[in-house]
């Protein structure tokens, strides 16, 4: 067996830019960092802002790329539907259900990362009052979906069992 090769760290062997991983993570949001967002932000503009923030976060971007099958146009459409205050739980796509669940439910690693990140993005884009209204809408939308999944209507139950309503 060969003798082990002695290893030593050479001076100035570290990259000049420092540890890349820790510097690549998003900067924590602080109270003194504000975005210049014009008043009267449209739903499409808000959805795009959230979309851009999700694309900028390494883990969230990877997960959303996976669940959308690399179709970020569908992710943006899902965000438009989720953030629109007139949207109800009827007829939402499976991708929209998944994104909504990740944004609200805090299930798994991604849910525990995405929910506070989503809230912070909304607070930066909208301010505290409008952000809280939007968060309430999004959480209500998820609650409606979960209630519908737990208690389907009599007509949908009759359709799946073949009974006449």
Over residues 117-165, the pLDDT tens digits come to 999 999 999 999 999 999 999 999 999 998 988 877 744 544 555 555 4
3-state helix, strand, coil in the chain (%, to 5): 60, 0, 40
pLDDT at 114: 95
Query: 41: burial class by Cβ within 10 Å (0-12, 13-18, 19+)?
Result: middle
As for how many domains the chain has, the answer is 1
pLDDT at 88: 85
- Tell whether the model's pLDDT for residue 32 goes beyond 60: no
In a domain, 16, yes or no: no
Domain, as residue range, for 62: 40-151
Query: 147: burial class by Cβ within 10 Å (0-12, 13-18, 19+)?
Result: exposed
In a domain, 80, yes or no: yes
d(CA 67, CA 83): 19
In a domain, 32, yes or no: no
- Tell whether the model's pLDDT for residue 46 goes beyond 90: yes
In a domain, 12, yes or no: no
């Amino acid at each position: 067996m060969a003798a082990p090769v002695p290893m030593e760290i050479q001076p100035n062997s570290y990259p000049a830019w420092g540890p890349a991983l820790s510097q690549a993570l998003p900067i924590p949001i602080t109270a003194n960092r504000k975005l210049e967002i014009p008043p009267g932000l449209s739903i499409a503009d808000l959805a795009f802002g959230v979309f851009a923030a999700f694309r900028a976060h390494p883990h969230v971007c990877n997960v959303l790329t996976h669940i959308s099958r690399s179709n970020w146009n569908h992710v943006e459409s899902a965000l438009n539907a989720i953030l629109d205050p007139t949207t109800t739980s009827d007829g939402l796509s499976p991708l929209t259900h998944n994104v909504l669940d990740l944004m609200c439910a805090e299930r798994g690693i991604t849910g525990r990362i995405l929910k506070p990140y989503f809230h912070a993005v909304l607070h930066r884009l909208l301010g505290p009052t409008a952000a809280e209204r939007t968060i309430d809408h999004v959480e209500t939308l998820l609650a409606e979906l979960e209630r519908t999944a737990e208690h389907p209507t009599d007509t949908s139950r009759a359709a799946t069992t073949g009974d006449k309503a």
